[in-house]
């Protein structure tokens, strides 16, 4: 059985713990994780929209509410 298949069988709380553990491990060496090529362009576009006033900044709680709206 593959790792992916084993993970799919885990209960949700275990999946979340595993995800957190993987994130901690990966973030210990940020230089070892290369950003995808498209990421720089997206960041530039966002920066341009911020400078022109097209993009608004939301605090985290407000952003979560906005994302959860149907």
Handedness of CA 43, 49, 54, 57 (dihedral sign): positive
pLDDT of 31 reads 86
pLDDT of 34 reads 87
Give the C-alpha separation, 54 to 59, whole Å.
17
pLDDT of 51 reads 95
φ/ψ region of 53 (left if φ > 0, alpha if ψ in -120 to 50, else beta) reads left
pLDDT of the chain, 70 residues: tens digit per residue: 999 999 999 999 999 999 999 999 988 988 888 889 999 999 999 999 999 999 989 999 999 999 999 8
pTM of the full predicted structure?
0.50
Q: How many residues does the chain have?
A: 70
pLDDT of 70 reads 80
């Amino acid at each position: 059985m593959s790792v992916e298949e084993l993970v799919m069988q885990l209960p949700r709380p275990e999946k979340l713990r595993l995800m957190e553990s993987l994130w901690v491990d990966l973030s210990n060496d940020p230089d070892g994780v290369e950003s995808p090529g498209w990421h720089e362009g997206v960041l530039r576009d966002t920066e341009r929209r911020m400078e022109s006033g097209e993009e608004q900044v939301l605090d985290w709680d407000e952003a979560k509410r906005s994302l959860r709206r149907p």
